[in-house]
Structure 1
Amino acid sequence: MSARKKWARFFVGALLICSLAACGGGATNGGSPQHSSSSSPSDSGSASAPSGEKKKLTVWFIDTGKRKELIEETIREFMDAHPDVEVVAEQIANDTYKTKLPVAMGGNNPPDIFHSWGGGWLKAFVDAGQVMDVTGKIDADRYLPAALNLATFDGKLYGAPLAMSLTLFFYNKEIFAQYGLEPPTTYDDLLHIIDTLNANGIAPISMANKTKWPGALWFIYLANRLGGSDIFNAAFERRGGTFDDPAYIKAGEMIQDLVDRNAFVTGFNGLDFDTGQSRQFLYTGKAAMELQTSGYLTVVRSEMPDFESKMGIFGFPSVEGGLGKATDLVGGVSPVFSISSKTKYPDEAVELLKALTSKELAQRYVDEAGVVVAVKDVQYNDPFAVQMKEILEQSDFLQPFYDQTLPPEMAELHKDTTQALFGKSMTPEEAARQMEEAAQRLLGK
């Protein structure tokens, strides 16, 4: 099976079967093009540190709030257990990280352990020989195969997953109650909510789309609800589908209809998500909801813990006449931790990788951060984590984020055209045409 098929299909059955309960067997994917070969430091074991000095490892990650605290605590515990090792950890803002890591990789100065989302984003580094093969060095049976597959290329393992990400609506329950609103089950219900809130001087939806990916969440969901679960796979794998499919054009039209309805906060296309500009609208009661990944909960608990009691979650509603199911989800795995092939201390890096993706840390992610994890045998008690687990178990399809599956050039074009759709500086037909032309050039006819 091709790499494109592997990334696009891996969630369909395995995620439901193995999602949040113990299940046997590791991930065994095949067919990805062989990555560029280079001699790994692990072939001959770790180097020795200079006399009197500790072995130094660097870790780059993007988790914030409680998740950041848990990672840092795990690293401190690792250093206590390995007194000859010093670990320097750096937390980097999400969008800054997406630029900083490729620069470090290209400059031959990467961190020893780094965050990724697996899939196409990680594969680009694997293909360049920049990621250490950890096949047989970690116990693959400890992880959900559906999540582990995102770090598996040509039957070899290049990382380990810790947490999963689901895209859901986060909303202010008090505002909904004040205006007699219920979480929508259909898209028409959502439009009614938007109109009601606008009539009462409340911005219906907050979004910070300066970095483009928040708006892409809307586009992916609308395309799924209109065109069904296979719309992306068929176009990506070049098996009869195209990126100028009528459903993609219709998704663009629906986005621009939302803009015309004043569904979003003023200036949304220029707001910065990382600095919390969209969340402030929810915290202050000026907006009622936001479509975001499940890491939103962790950020809220860190930034504005008092808001948690007002907050609820619901899934993206169905679209009448569309082929997608209301239970279809958009999401991914984050973080997948991987090791640079340049590390001087591969043995120690592997041990740290195990600690950063351990059952113990995963359980604390669930208990203290309300996160759904990719590690087996954890227990769910946090109310939000329980609800997310139930939403996940009701789904038989999870669409990976487009920009983590598409080749880098197409991933950027996807975000650029989607942002342009929200800004109404591009027609849906033009956006679809550009995507399909790029697909023909990069993926084949």
Structure 2
Amino acid sequence: MKRRLLSLVMATGLLVSLITGCGKTEASSEKKVTIVFGDQVANVEESSKYLWDVAQEFMKKNPDITIEFQGSDHEDYISKLKMATQSDSLPDVFWIEPSMLSEFSENGYIYDLTEDAKVRGIMDRFQDGMLDVNMVDGKLYGFPSEVMLPCYYYNKEIFKKYNLEVPKTWDEFLEVCKVLSAEGVTPIAKGALSNWSVWNWQNIFVRYGFFNDIDDILNGEKSFNNDNFIHAYEKIKELSDAGAYAENVKTIDYYQAIEVFLAGNAAMLDSGNFACRDIENSEIANEVGCFSYPLIENGVTDEMTRIGTFNGPYAVSSKAASDEAKKEAIFKFFEFYYSEEGAQIVANTNMLPTSKFSGTVDAEKNPVFAQIVDLYNEEGWSNQFQPYGYMATNVADTWADSMWGVALGNYTPEEAAEKVEQEIRY
């Protein structure tokens, strides 16, 4: 009798245990959340390492949340993004061109982040005005992805050899290029096969009032073919006339231009903070300095105006935000991403954090990045958004082509400006 009773108790206990165990497994399963994250690079781990590293640390701290990246090259990515709107299959979180925010918000594809960002304190993590470009009708539709700070890197040894100082003004910049070219040294490494590598040329347009007129131009009230923009194109031509670029500039791309600079075959590299990691990992890291675009005395805006702001934002799909568990996980990630800890992880990859950063940079270990941080924090500069991301992709690409056309002698400044004007009206 005792044996039968004991067996019954054990069987009952086993049954309860199984039921309880199944219940726990099911509940645990329900808490698991996967965030599908779209990015405009083919390999997120390599090309967006700052994002990848933050995500890995976040998942360690939050094992119930998985971040699954979906990346592809920019042009293919934008095409897929537009197609996804038709099938209601947008990623939960995704990188987007600033120029697309208005269309996506009006059609209800993306979620209004404003109130959640305020309540969670995310809005307080950024400097005043730095989120403006991600606003549509006063509502926030995107969080910043990365800082875009175009600059020139220069080889200190080459500058020293030819007794050159870092140029502060446009005339000094042209003179440096002329001296180097006369000595048989390529002044600036640049590659025309990457038509989008026009960061510092955009700075010229910013100095000539790009943001003063671009809204009226896009609305048809003014023309892109105007005196100020023609002057900007003329500055690009002045650089070419000064022998700034190598003869093979037409046949190499941006990544090959980096290799030319790192091999010591060019005195300067036209790039930005995003090239810092490649330079830090090179043999000439300790020989490299950086400077912002030289001052243009006869521009339209303040002389100390430069591109120094966020790249395209991260948006949240309305569909993902309608799932409370997923929405909570997404905002939990963004809280971490823009925290001091997240900012330090970003800085550890030699990228400028998008949020306020009071962490540390090891100048001995990362000499170039330390200079980039100093350059970004340099007082007196008025930072502007990157113009390229302000326009529709087809217009921006035509604009980039037009700048290269002037640099390579294929267009006059007037022809280049008219080419963009026609693309806007097309």
Shorter-chain TM-score range: 0.7 to 0.9
Q: In the alignment, which of 187, 199, 202 is matched to residue 220 of structure 1?
A: 202
Conservation of the 8 A alpha-carbon contact between 1:331 and 1:400: yes
Aligned-partner Cα distance in 1 for 2:32–2:312: 27
1:133-282 matched pairs, under 5 angstroms:
133-138=112-117, 139=121, 140-161=123-144, 163-215=146-198, 217-225=199-207, 227=208, 230-237=209-216, 242-273=223-254, 276-282=255-261
Q: Deviations for 1:381-406, whole angstroms, at most 9, x for unmatched residues?
A: 45224422333x321x3232222112
Conservation of the 8 A alpha-carbon contact between 1:67 and 1:298: no
Conservation of the 8 A alpha-carbon contact between 1:114 and 1:338: yes
Aligned-partner Cα distance in 2 for 1:193–1:297: 23
Are 1:405 and 2:383 matched, yes or no?
no
Aligned-partner Cα distance in 2 for 1:201–1:99: 44
Moved more, 178-187 or 129-138: 129-138
Aligned-partner Cα distance in 1 for 2:39–2:89: 16
Q: In the alignment, which of 385, 405, 424 is matched to residue 420 of structure 1?
A: 405
Normalising by structure 1, what TM-score?
A: 0.75
Moved more, 78-87 or 95-104: 95-104
| 2:151 counterpart SS class | strand
Aligned-partner Cα distance in 1 for 2:85–2:133: 20
Q: Alpha carbons of 1:282 and 1:177: their partners in 2 closer, same or farther (altered >3 Å)?
A: same
Q: Deviations for 1:141-173, whole angstroms, at most 9, x for unmatched residues?
A: 222232222222122222222542211111111
Bigger Rg over Cα: 2
- Please, which runs of 5 or more residues in structure 1 have no aligned partner? 1-47
Which position in structure 2 is the counterpart of 1:314? 291
Which position in structure 1 is the counterpart of 2:34? 56
Q: Which has the higher contact order (CA 8 A, sep 6+)?
A: 1
Tell me how far 1:248 sits from its aligned partner.
1.5
Aligned-partner Cα distance in 2 for 1:254–1:268: 18
Q: Alpha carbons of 1:152 and 1:185: their partners in 2 closer, same or farther (altered >3 Å)?
A: same
Conservation of the 8 A alpha-carbon contact between 1:318 and 1:325: no
Tell me how far 1:362 sits from its aligned partner.
1.1
Q: In the alignment, which of 430, 438, 443 is matched to residue 415 of structure 2?
A: 430
Conservation of the 8 A alpha-carbon contact between 1:143 and 1:161: no
Q: Alpha carbons of 1:67 and 1:365: their partners in 2 closer, same or farther (altered >3 Å)?
A: farther
Name the % identity: 25
Aligned-partner Cα distance in 2 for 1:95–1:293: 21
- Please, which runs of 5 or more residues in structure 2 have no aligned partner? 1-25, 364-369
Are 1:339 and 2:316 matched, yes or no?
yes
Q: Alpha carbons of 1:79 and 1:179: their partners in 2 closer, same or farther (altered >3 Å)?
A: same
- 1 or 2, which has the higher helix percentage? 2
Q: Alpha carbons of 1:278 and 1:355: their partners in 2 closer, same or farther (altered >3 Å)?
A: same
| 1:264 counterpart SS class | coil
Aligned-partner Cα distance in 1 for 2:192–2:287: 24
Q: Alpha carbons of 1:373 and 1:91: their partners in 2 closer, same or farther (altered >3 Å)?
A: same
Q: In the alignment, which of 394, 412, 423 is matched to residue 380 of structure 2?
A: 394
Moved more, 151-160 or 71-80: 71-80
Aligned-partner Cα distance in 1 for 2:82–2:390: 17
Partner amino acid for 2:256?
A: Q
Let me know the Cα RMSD of the aligned residues.
Answer: 3.2
Normalising by structure 2, what TM-score?
A: 0.78
